[in-house]
Amino acid sequence: MRTLTIHTPDDWHLHFRDGDMLLETVPATARCFRRAIAMPNLVPPVTNTQLALEYKARILSAVPEGVTNFEPLVTLYLTNDTTPEEIEKASNAGIVASKLYPAGATTNSDAAVKGIKSLYPVFEAMQKTGMLLLIHGEVTENHIDIFDREKAFIDAYLNDIVSDFPELKVVFEHITTKDASDFVKAQSSFVAATITPQHLLLNRNDLLVGGVKPHNYCLPVLKRNIHQQALQETVASGSPKFFLGTDSAPHEKHKKESACGCAGCYSAWSAIELYAQIFDDLGAIDKLEGFASHYGPDFYGLPRNQTTITLEEKEWTVPDVIALPNVKSSNQSLADEDAIVPFFAGQPLRWKLA
Ligand code: NCD
Ligand code: ZN
């Protein structure tokens, strides 16, 4: 049996949610990642230092007993009311990144930013304190086709942001296109990107051919296969500008399988295994450790993890459904409101965390 031992990885973009859901999402991620960048798109959103530190405490209280070193990295949700003073306060409190959602871009992003240039004083403060800017890079204008929104964001905003703030660390989150990967490659060492398992594994045929597949629906939406191939080539190249961010984003089953289904793939229970299979299939398994465990902390200016994990080549099947924790003790059949269909449900994977 082939095995693979790598430094313990981190997940640089995911959604833990809040309340009872934390009892599901936090153990799932803590099983293999040491750190995780927790997105702030709660209801209400995490818009200041105090809310962020309270959220961090709630996440920590959901860490399973016996896991001693898991560290959630909470983030601030930028709004038109965010001040440079708040950035300084957050930075002093150890908050390493803030998130920019263009208004309406995705789940719970209504509070987000209208008119990105009005945030320039905030970006200035971030550049000064060394806080990272994490960007959901899609425009939201109705007349722009959903498949073109990432490229349009680069042209309309991102070019300006990176040239106006040359020493602001920018992460272009969950990139989905060749345009985005080419853009990041052409930038200085202050610009990097995360890539999800779903955008490496799938293209828009996997969403739409043979019927709509709601569990493959995420934002930014899956793109055509030439973009998927460009992302695959990018990670296989081993460039340190690209690192792991699952965008694991749970929604209850009935909210995905709906006339207006939510965007998001819940990949936490198979995340490192999915990436291992992808890299292996690309003939680039030797590049997995850099992507999963080294380039993220290097870019964030944080230490690499000293511990290791081991993956074994051994077939297993991703479960069809996961019961939410508050109903695990019930013996009635599982209601859709109490269940999550994980990403890659019912499908075999070749690698498993030992
Ligand atoms: C995320 C969510 O559900 O919070 N959904 C998604 O499809 N990725 C939001 C996001 O990261 O865009
Ligand atoms: Zn996300």
Span 262-311, pLDDT tens digits: 999 999 999 999 999 999 999 999 999 999 999 999 999 999 999 999 99
CB of 107 within 6 A of ligand 1: the answer is yes
One-letter amino acid identity for 252? E
One-letter amino acid identity for 269? W
Cβ neighbours for 210, distance < 8 A, ≥ 6 positions apart: none
Q: What average pLDDT does the segment 18-45 reach?
A: 97
Tokens of 219: 């934002």
pLDDT of 332 > 70? The answer is no
Q: What is the pLDDT of residues 108-162, one digit of tens each?
A: 777 777 778 899 999 999 999 999 999 999 999 899 999 999 999 999 999 999 9
What's the pLDDT at 106?
72
d(C-alpha 319, C-alpha 235), whole Å? 27
**Residue-averaged pLDDT of the chain:** 96
How far does CA 78 lie from the centroid of its chain? 17
Give, for ligand 1, the residue of 11, 37, 41 to mutate: max count of ligand atoms closer than 8 Å to Cβ: 41
**Which residue's CA is minimally distant from atom 6 of ligand 1?**
264
Distance 14 CA to ligand 2 centre (A): 6
Positions annotated as catalytic residues are: 247
The DSSP secondary structure of 215-239, one letter per residue, reads GG--SSPP--HHHHHHHHHHHHTT-
Distance 246 CA to ligand 2 centre (A): 8
Q: Measuring CA to CA, how many Å separate 104 from each of 41, 161, 217?
A: 12, 20, 17
Residue (of 3, 6, 28, 1) closest to 17 by Cα position: 28
d(C-alpha 29, C-alpha 37), whole Å? 11
What's the pLDDT at 330?
55
Q: How many residues does the chain have?
A: 354
Cβ atoms 39, 12 nearer than 8 A: no
pLDDT of 105 > 90? The answer is no
pTM score of the predicted model = 0.96
Residue with tokens 């340190």: 240
Tokens of 308: 């290791």
pLDDT interval class at 90 (50, 70, 90):
very high
Residue (of 131, 245, 138) closest to 193 by Cα position: 245
- Percentage of the chain modeled with pLDDT above 70: 98
